[in-house]
Amino acid sequence: MGWQQKTGVFPQCVKRPQFSVETLRKLSRGLNRSIVSQLSGENDDDPTVRQTLEEVALGYIWPDESGNLDRVFLAKRFGLQQKAGKLRVMMTVL
């Protein structure tokens, strides 16, 4: 969360975050539960899930083992199919 560094790859387009960190903390319990319920039907055959599991195995991302949804801000990931069969996994941003 927060501001990204300038890369020079894309034109600059400033968009403020929808919520402050304080507001996000207050909303996180309900938002996290909503995301968990939406993902309950996911399966390992989904290309986005497969790529996510590969990224976990490589150590690029990691699961929160605590199970305490009060300490984290969850985000849903989705796949964008690109040229040459490449799948780019993105995540929703509030």
Q: What are the residue ranges spanned by the domains of the chain?
A: 21-91
Tokens of 51: 């790529």
Predicted TM-score of the model (pTM): 0.61
H-run or E-run covering 87: strand 87-91
pLDDT category at 57 given cuts 50, 70, 90 is: very high
For the residues of 2-60, what is the DSSP string, one character each? -PPPP-SSS-------SS-HHHHHHHHHHHHHHHHHHTTT--TTSHHHHHHHHHHHHTS
**pLDDT tens across 68-77, in order?**
877 788 888 8
